[in-house]
Structure 1
C-alpha cells in the first residue's frame, strides 16, 4: 500500500509533467525541470518520480528541437517557396534619405573640406560648425565682416539655426570671433556683425582670397570695430603714433596709449582681449 508521501509525490509529478507538456519553448521547459529538481531536493518528490520527470524533460526538448526550422515545421510550403525563390520574411530595405537632407549633408561636408580654416583651428569644431565658420570666412574675405542673418548662414551651410548659434558661440569662446549686436529700439533688430579676430585665421583668409580681393577691407573693418568698441566701453583718448607695414609678416603695428577712469589700459590688454595670437594686426585711425 502506498504511503502518504508517495501519493503526494505522484500528484506533484503529474502536475509537473502537465506543465512541461504545455510549454512550447526550451527555456520554459527548463524552468519546469528546475522546479522539479528543487522539489526533489526538498523531499517532495521520490527518486522514481524525479527520474520520470527527467526522461520526459529530455524527450520534450528533443521534440522541440526537431521542428525548429521553417522547412521542418511546414515542409510543403517551404518546398514551394524554395522553387519560387522567395522567402517567408520580408526583405529589410533601409529607408532612403530625403534628397534635401542629402544635399544639405553634402554641402556642409564640402564646405568643411574646402580649407577656409587652418587645420589647427578646424580640429576644434565639428563638420557642421566648420561649415558655418566657412560661410563666415567667405563673407569676411569678400566684405571684411559677416552681416548675414542666422537663417541665411544655416541655409548656405546646410545646417539648422541652432547649429549656427552654437558654432558662433564656440568661435567666440575660442577667441576666433567677435559678435557685435545691433539692436533697434521699437523695431526689428539688425543682423549681428561677426568679425574674425584671430590673426592666424585672417592670414589664412588673405592667402585664400588673394587672387580675388586684397585683405585691406578686412584690416579696415577690424580697425573700425576695435576703435568703436573701446570708445563705447571706456572713456579713452587714443593718440596713435604713425604705424608702419611689416612686409615680412604683412601685419600692422601701432602704439596707442589709453587713459581710462579706473586705471591705465595697456596695448597688451587690447591684444589679449581681441587677438589672443602673437603680433596682432591692429591699428587705429
Structure 2
C-alpha cells in the first residue's frame, strides 16, 4: 500500500485509540445497560464519527486513510478463503485455551450468545456483523493503521495493530484469537490497499456466530447434549478419548487452514506484479513445499490422534465392562 503524501503520525493513532477506548470501555457499557445491544450500535457509530472527524482534524487524506476501491471477483473469493484459513487457526487457539480455562472461555461465549439473542435476527446482523465491519475497520485498519505506517516495517505495523485490536475486545481469553484475526485483516489492507476486503473479512467473521445461533440452534443443542454426555455420563477413559479426538480434529483442521490461507493469499494478489503465473509455480515453489510439508504433517498428526482416541476409548470400555 502506498504511503500518504502527508502521512498521519503515530501520536494521531494514539489519540484515536484513547477516544476509542472511552467509547468501548466507558460509554459503551453505560449505553448497553440502558439500551442493550442498541447501545452497542450507538457506541460503534461514535467510534466511526471519531475516526472520520479526527482524520479531517489531523488533515489526513480520507482517500488514503480509508481506501475504498472496486473489488475483483478473485479478490473477494480469495478473501473468503483467507478468512476460512485464519478462523481455523484462531479456533485452534480457542480450543487450546478452553482446555486449560474451560469456565472462562465458555462463560465469555455464553454471555455473547445471550446478548445476540436479545434482539431480532436482522437487527443482530446489522449491529453485530455489518456495523462493526465498517466502524471498527475505520478505526483500527483505517486511521490507526495509517498513523503507524510511517514506522516503515510492514510486519511490525501488522502485528502491532492486530494486537491492539485483540486488546480492545476487553477479554484476556479472546485476545489471542482476536489478535490473529486483526493481523489477518491488517495484512489484507497492506497487500491490497483496499479496505473492501478487510471489511468483508470482518463482516463474515462476525456473522458466523449469528448463523450458528439463529440458523442452527438444533445442531448446537445436539452438540451440547453430546458434550454433556461425554462430560458427565461416561467413564474417565471415554472423556480422555473424547478430548483426544477433539484435539486431533483441530490439529487436522490447522493443516487444511494453511492450504486455504495460501490459496486465498494467491487470489488476492492475482494480477499484481510479482504474482503472475501459476499458483504452484515460479518463485513460490519453495514456500509451497514448506506449506505442503507442514499441512500434511499436521493433517496426519490429527488423524493419528483421532485413531488413538478411538483405540483409547475401546480399551477403556473393555476395562470398564
TM-score for the superposition, normalised by structure 2: 0.21
Q: Higher helix fraction: Structure 1 or Structure 2?
A: 2
Q: Larger C-alpha radius of gyration, 1 or 2?
A: 1
TM-score for the superposition, normalised by structure 1: 0.23
Instruction: Tell which has more relative contact order, 1 or 2 (C-alpha 8 A, sep 6+).
Output: 2
